[in-house]
Amino acid sequence: MWQEILRAILFGILEGVTEWLPVSSTGHLILLRDVLTFSMRPAVFELFEVVIQLGAILAVAVLFWHKLGPFSRKKTADERRATRALWGKVFVAVLPSAVLGLLLDDWLDAHFYRARVVAAMLILYGVAFLIIERRARTPYLLDTESIAPRTAFGIGLFQLLALIPGTSRSGATILGGVLLGLSRPVAAEFSFFLGIPTMAGAGILKTVKFFAEGNLLARDELLLIAVGTLTAFAVSLAVIRFLMDFVRRHSFGAFGAYRIALGGAVLLTYFI
């Protein structure tokens, strides 16, 4: 059992690190799954991979509680209105992936959750990061309040790219934000906010499907899910702080290079 707990911790660490960095958490989890197997049932493991994301998004809620809480008594009336407007933009941005995600969830699982797909997307969007960073225009949206609903919807369209594993949800939305005029810190912050309903929805959908199919969780399986979720939460707190500091001083070029190197390594390992 201790070996299983250690595996759950490793998956939680990987989720907490890669969920927020633009390197594809789903892609990394697929790759780790291929080399580090659990003894838990396949249906439970699929649930585990999605539910640990809830720990990651809880970190966003904790770190940005003041900005995201629309009913805080510490806020002025104008600040509360701004918070409600922010959530409206998040809702608009989430709509595209929410609709297509529901329609294509099972089909995507069956056709794209493969190492070769992950490798291709890692390389493709790694190149995109390097190109866009070199040609990025001067941003004119320097805070989340400046994001118009139309721009939010555009970022949501970019999030659709992340339905294919290896793309990176945060990477797609950050790149989309930068292309639409957001500064790197604002693009990263808005991407974090989009993660809350996106990943919460995915977690709820997977959980409902799990129990609707007549599955139940054993005590040991529930423990492993809890360990992975708590680990993802703790690691996410540190990683989000790191990324917000990093993007104020650096470009995303380093992440692009990492993606290309990892994608190449996957191709060499699995297909050569």
What separation in angstroms does the CA of 253 have from each of 34, 125, 171? 28, 11, 12
Per-residue pLDDT band for 127 (boundaries 50, 70, 90) equals very high
Half-sphere exposure of 208 (CA within 13 A, CB side): 7
Task: Give the pLDDT score at 223.
Answer: 93
At residue 87, does pLDDT exceed 90?
Answer: yes
Per-residue pLDDT band for 150 (boundaries 50, 70, 90) equals very high
**Which is more confidently placed, 76 or 189?**
189
Per-residue pLDDT band for 156 (boundaries 50, 70, 90) equals very high
Task: Give the pLDDT score at 74.
Answer: 78
Taking residues 132-160, report their average pLDDT: 88
**Which is more confidently placed, 168 or 114?**
168
Task: Give the pLDDT score at 271.
Answer: 66
Q: How many C-beta neighbours within 10 Å does residue 105 have?
A: 15
Per-residue pLDDT reduced to its tens digit, 7-26: 899 999 999 999 898 888 87
Per-residue pLDDT reduced to its tens digit, 232-263: 999 999 999 999 898 888 888 889 999 999 88
Percent of the chain with pLDDT over 90: 34
Per-residue pLDDT band for 231 (boundaries 50, 70, 90) equals very high
Q: Which two tokens stand for residue 270?
A: 């699995």
Per-residue pLDDT reduced to its tens digit, 38-53: 778 888 888 898 889 8
**Which is more confidently placed, 31 or 96?**
96
**What pTM, to 2 d.p., does this model score?**
0.85
At residue 272, does pLDDT exceed 70?
Answer: no
Between 8-22, 27-41, 203-217, the lowest mean confidence (pLDDT) is in 27-41
What is the 3-state secondary structure of 124-186? HHHHHHHHHHHHCCCCCECCHHHCCHHHHHHHHHHHHHHHCCCCCHHHHHHHHHHHCCECHHH
